[in-house]
Amino acid sequence: MNDKETEEMKVVSPDAEAEAGAGEVKTDSASYPDLLTVSPSPHLRNHDSTRSVMTEVIIALIPALVWGVITFGLRALTLTLVSVVACVAFEALAQLALRRRITVSDMSAALTGLFIALNMPVSAPLWIPAVASFFAIVIVKQVFGGIGKNIVNPAMAARVFVMLSWAGQMTKFTAAGARYPFFGNVAGGYDAVASATPLAALKSGNVPDASLFDMFTGKIGGCIGEVSTLLLLLGGIYLIVRRIITWHIPVAYIGTVAVLTYAFPKTGDAVTFMLYELTAGGLMLGAFFMATDYTTSPISPMGRIVYGIGCGALTVLIRYFGGYPEGTSFAILIMNLLVWYLDSAFKPRWFGASTLKRREREKKKKEKTEKAA
């Protein structure tokens, strides 16, 4: 450092600042710092952060949540608040207990909470989302090492956990237009239990009562956030346009389900059956939001396609032959476990690999001709 010069400039600076006045550009007021920062390149960063990425996903989910509130009543909001607050609180507590830095401000816990609520039937008792939040954040996420380290999607794992544990409450789906209030006793007289959900009908080989238009717009029974194909599609497209996710997983996932259900329809017209399968259950929520969860999906483009195909095939298999009407959660959980293998098996082709290969081929050809000669 040029100490002398720096010192002199520092002495000069206060006077110069006073002279320069408030409105003018302060020309001589700045001086060199005592120490310059030395760091490895690059010296520029973009403005995205983990927090901004998570916030974008939350924004993309808001239409689906609003639709859930419209169709099922304000209680959808109550459940969401419970699970979001529980997730954030459990994350902070777990990080305190594990002596980690508290990172609730990165919004990832809030997002998990939102996912949990969207995967609940509106009639679920309030303690279920709380238990699910505990399982998602503490067991699945923090015990495995926190953000970026969990091997399965926390919200999916939690949904499966509570669904298997309290099957009665978790599979009691409410018909659209039930209007549950913000507070209130669920067991009361609301026409809580709808007839079979579209998925259950499809499973038994019947065409659902709801029209395809109702299925698409979301005037059907089901979980809070999964009913409106249209709004989830919009949210998913928003994420792709904002470059939060890439097209690979949703296209491969939905495409595989479409091809398989079209090829092997259980009932009636193949196209109609396929469209019912695509709009029923949690497929859209799963393909655009759950399967694309960063931590538990591959990062290589080819790996993402294979992962999407795997999710789609497993979803259809479970829907056709499994014990449950819905297969998305199980399919995604199973594929989550394969992520590392998919990434290392389907690495992107290195820049220059084609040239090296061509050179090798030419070399072999040359050797062959030389041998022949």
Partner 1 sequence: MFTFKGGTHINEYKLTKDFPTEKIGAPERVMISMSQHIGAPCTPTVAEGDRVLAGQVIGDVAPDKLGCPVHASVSGRVAGIEQILGASGMKETCVVIENDGTDEQFDGLAPFEGDITSATPDEIIDVIRSAGITGMGGAAFPSYAKIRSALGKADTVIVNCAECEPFITSDHRLLLEEPEHVVGGLKIIMIALGVKRAFIAVEDNKRDAAGVLRDTVGGGDMIRVCLMKTKYPQGDERQLIYALLKTELPMGMLPMDAGCVIFNAGTCSAIYDAFTSGLPLMKRIVTVSGDCVKKPGNYIVPLGMRVSEIVEKCGGLVKEPRKIIFGGPMMGKSEWSLNTPVKKGTSAILLLSEAFESKPVKDPECIRCGRCVKNCPMHLMPAYIAQYSRIGNMEMAKKFGAMSCVECGTCSYNCPAKIEIVQYIRSAKNNIKAEERRLAALKQSGS
Give me the residues that bind partner 1 (CB under 8 A), please: 1-2, 5-6, 25-33, 35-46, 48-50, 52-53, 101, 108, 146-149, 244, 246, 294-295, 297-301, 304, 343-344, 347-356
Place of tokens 């389900």: 257
Positive/negative CA dihedral, 117, 123, 124, 130: positive
Three-class DSSP category at 190 = coil
Q: How far is the CB of 43 from partner 1 (least distance, A)?
A: 4
Which residues, other chains included, contact 295 with Cβ-Cβ below 8 Å and sequence gap of 6+?
A: 147, 148, 149, 150, 153
From CA 52, how far away is CA 236, in angstroms rounded? 17
From CA 117, how far away is CA 9, in angstroms rounded? 60
Q: How far is the CB of 212 from partner 1 (least distance, A)?
A: 35
Q: How far is the CB of 156 from partner 1 (least distance, A)?
A: 16
Place of tokens 């002199």: 8
Residue whose CB is less far from partner 1, 200 or 244: 244
Residue whose CB is less far from partner 1, 157 or 215: 157
99, two tokens: 């002596």
| 79 close to 126: Cβ distance less than 8 angstroms | yes
Q: How far is the CB of 44 from partner 1 (least distance, A)?
A: 4
Residue whose CB is less far from partner 1, 293 or 326: 293
Residue whose CB is less far from partner 1, 39 or 185: 39
Q: How far is the CB of 301 from partner 1 (least distance, A)?
A: 7
Place of tokens 């690979």: 248
Residue whose CB is less far from partner 1, 180 or 238: 238
